[in-house]
Structure 1
Amino acid sequence: MSGRFAGRVALITGAGTGIGAATARRIVAEGGRVVLTGRRPGPLASVADPLGPSALALPADAADGSAMRAVVTQAAERFGRVDVVVANAGGHGIGAAADTTDEAWQLSLDANLTSAFVTIREALPQLVDGGGAVVLVSSLAGLFAGPGVAGYTSTKHALVGLGRSIARDYGRYGVRANVVCPGWVRTAMADEQMDRFGAAKGLDRAGAYALVTENTPLGRPAEADEVAALIAFLASSEASIVTGAVVTADAGASAVDLPTIALA
């Protein structure tokens, strides 16, 4: 690994599992320090402990303004500043519009959109001071609509707008903001979805992953480390001219013309 994060500090939400955990390990491997936050102390500790003094685990709800203000303050006290925010926390949003209750809608807003907005807002003074970088983790659901996920689709779309707004308003202060839209990624959360889907189709987990990715050019799901590599690039100085971008990490799914699938 290069030392491209030497002397830099990244705040990562949803850092206890999946893409967030993989990103934390990647940044530390490249010389950086990380502040890991999420609602569950156990998974955070399991990621932070092997990283030693380069990692600080601070359990918090990323959608809670006062909690994230405290996280940013503690991060600065421990490491001196925050240079990078990876807004990765997310979840919730199952159900078509008519089946989505007010409570379910609010849960989706908090988990996917408010968590990113609040975290970035609280870190912006640090980012402006040092010319930092923001990477928001959206989804292919931020570009297209899947079936029966109105809350998830709406809030993931909104993350694209939030990323562009941050890029537009704070670029003059040296702050960059970019959005990553993964497709299927082999994580604990996706494994659970594949197990449910596979059970309905009479498939095991591997078969379910194969089915949902069979029409993508690469024909497989991503690994969390592959998405983490993209996030690390966008957060690094190697992407110094890249801001306001929306980058897919989807095995080529978004390049496929759906009406021609039957012709393949």
Structure 2
Amino acid sequence: MTAHIITGGGTGIGAATARLLADAGDDVVIVGRRAEPLLAVAATHERIHAITADAADGVAMADVVASTTERFGGVAGLVANAGGHGYSTVGSTTDDEWRSSLEANLTTAFVAIRAALDELERSRGAIVVVSSIAGLAAGPETAGYTVGKHALIGLVRSVARDYGRRGVRINALCPGWVRTPMSDEEMSVLVQRGDAPDVESAYALVTRDVPLGRAADAGEIAATIAFLLGPASTYVHGATIVADGGSTIVDVPTLAYG
């Protein structure tokens, strides 16, 4: 018996993934810095177990892996989903903001992967690193976030190159807009600026040029993560999987033509 570990498991994509995996019969350990949302998610399913820890803390993540292994016999998969903000231009980003953004968006994944690698080798397990389409292109005034998400793809490729022959699979997942509490906050910025009258209108605004015409539900992204962790994707390795409703296929200079 083994379990999956999900960082950033208290809300959004992490919480949706935990529920989906638990419903499928897997044990899941969710990790985050805030106990309250973790416990709320864990209360929804007997197979979801919460550990309060900072995914960027090497000692803390080593303890999470050790506790998971002791309780469940090993680690079957890791979802490196923790992330954070980094919303400013290079010129207006302070040193502290830069460090904080890279810690939240990149270091958390690096530390979690490093902590889990030995157990994942033993189980021949899989890793999914949740990046973003911000890992493929740059939005305005998002220097720290954009750089961190781009770097995650490099991290995935490095681990894939070094650990594939040791039995560990790893892939990057790049979602577009997903309805999560963090995205709701970003929609609220558009409402406050007067660009949209409410959050629903803001989502419509930011997805007006998305070929599917909408944001994803967190459960849709969770299903993609479950696929990448599972037996249906055993030859998918070192890949960057995009789940963005078609956003990144759009030829921006042709938008005026409809």
TM-score range, shorter-chain basis?
A: over 0.9
**Cα distance, 1:55 vs structure 2:** 2.0
**Cα distance, 1:71 vs structure 2:** 0.6
The residue number in structure 2 matching 1:182 is 175
SS of aligned partner of 1:10: strand
The residue number in structure 2 matching 1:76 is 69
User: Residue 257 of structure 1 aligns to which amino acid in structure 2?
Assistant: D
Structure 2 CA distance for aligned equivalents of residues 49 and 81 of structure 1: 23
Structure 1 CA distance for aligned equivalents of residues 181 and 158 of structure 2: 31
Query: Quick one: which of 36, 40, 51 aligns to 1:42?
Result: 36
Does structure 1 conserve the Cα–Cα contact (< 8 Å) formed by 2:8 and 2:81? Answer: yes
* Change beyond 3 A, Cα 1:28–1:202: closer
* Change beyond 3 A, Cα 1:255–1:8: farther
**Cα distance, 1:175 vs structure 2:** 0.6
Query: Quick one: which of 62, 87, 91 aligns to 2:80?
Result: 87
Number of residue-to-residue matches in the alignment: 257
Structure 2 CA distance for aligned equivalents of residues 60 and 133 of structure 1: 21
Structure 1 CA distance for aligned equivalents of residues 45 and 77 of structure 2: 18
The residue number in structure 1 matching 2:247 is 253
TM-score normalised by the chain length of structure 1: 0.96
What per-residue deviation string (whole Å, max 9, x for no partner) do you get for residues 182-205 of structure 1? 011000110111011122114211
Q: Does 1:108 align with 2:101?
A: yes
Query: Quick one: which of 224, 240, 245 aligns to 2:218?
Result: 224
User: Residue 208 of structure 1 aligns to which amino acid in structure 2?
Assistant: A
Q: Does 1:133 align with 2:126?
A: yes
User: Residue 164 of structure 1 aligns to which amino acid in structure 2?
Assistant: R
Q: Does 1:214 align with 2:208?
A: yes
Structure 1 CA distance for aligned equivalents of residues 207 and 197 of structure 2: 14
The residue number in structure 2 matching 1:63 is 56
Structure 2 CA distance for aligned equivalents of residues 199 and 55 of structure 1: 37
What per-residue deviation string (whole Å, max 9, x for no partner) do you get for residues 196-219 of structure 1? 112211421111000100001001
SS of aligned partner of 1:108: helix
Identity value in percent: 55
User: Residue 4 of structure 2 aligns to which amino acid in structure 1?
Assistant: A
The residue number in structure 2 matching 1:158 is 151
Structure 2 CA distance for aligned equivalents of residues 193 and 94 of structure 1: 11
Structure 2 CA distance for aligned equivalents of residues 98 and 64 of structure 1: 28
* Moved beyond 6 Å, runs of 4+: none
Structure 2 CA distance for aligned equivalents of residues 168 and 132 of structure 1: 15
The residue number in structure 1 matching 2:166 is 173
Q: Which residues of structure 2 form unaligned runs of 5+?
A: none
**Cα distance, 1:31 vs structure 2:** 1.2
**Cα distance, 1:8 vs structure 2:** 4.2
What per-residue deviation string (whole Å, max 9, x for no partner) do you get for residues 66-119 of structure 1? 000111011111111111000000012110000000000000111010000000
What per-residue deviation string (whole Å, max 9, x for no partner) do you get for residues 155-202 of structure 1? 000000111111111000111000000011000110111011122114
Q: Does 1:14 align with 2:8?
A: yes
Does structure 1 conserve the Cα–Cα contact (< 8 Å) formed by 2:88 and 2:143? Answer: yes
The residue number in structure 1 matching 2:197 is 203
SS of aligned partner of 2:91: helix
SS of aligned partner of 1:50: coil
SS of aligned partner of 1:57: strand
What per-residue deviation string (whole Å, max 9, x for no partner) do you get for residues 109-133 of structure 1? 1101000000000000000111110
Over aligned residue pairs, what C-alpha RMSD do you find?
0.8
User: Residue 66 of structure 2 aligns to which amino acid in structure 1?
Assistant: T
Does structure 1 conserve the Cα–Cα contact (< 8 Å) formed by 2:2 and 2:69? Answer: no
Structure 2 CA distance for aligned equivalents of residues 72 and 190 of structure 1: 30
TM-score normalised by the chain length of structure 2: 0.98
The residue number in structure 1 matching 2:138 is 145
Structure 1 CA distance for aligned equivalents of residues 248 and 186 of structure 2: 21
